Structure 1
């Protein structure tokens, strides 16, 4: 499942995700929604949107923003993937215990 904001609501992106069997939870902007509704049955059906799943997007963004406060993680200072992953895990432990 991909949770994304309205900026990623394009036919190309949705088709790519669908082709790879990935469910898209992306709201449709007001402009295309109104255009489809004005066209009536010729406008096609709006893509499905799961509001409950979309609420989880906030949690992911919160976590990413908190991780970016760690300079080594935000700038990808470490070249070795294992060292970078270790930094992510340590930061996650600190963030979890700070709650």
Structure 2
């Protein structure tokens, strides 16, 4: 199951890139101006961040399902159900 969490590093890198872009676009004239522009920059990138998270959850689903199928020698669809629940459940929780 450890390899299933490796794709989250990609999500973290994407989030960090958007954070850097939001800070770079914000004005340092006053704390209020910085906060408003920083928030606007993060809001603009929310759709792309969520889409990246959705794609990474798909990758995690694949890794989890195949890992569970091999570990428990299960050829039914049960590992896929568990994998979808874990990967997309955590993605949904990240939206909060």
TM > 0.5 fold call: no
Query: Which has a greater percent of strand?
Result: 1
Query: Which has a greater percent of helix?
Result: 2
Q: Which has the larger radius of gyration?
A: 1
TM-score by length of 1: 0.30
Larger relative contact order (Cα-Cα within 8 Å, sequence gap ≥ 6): 2
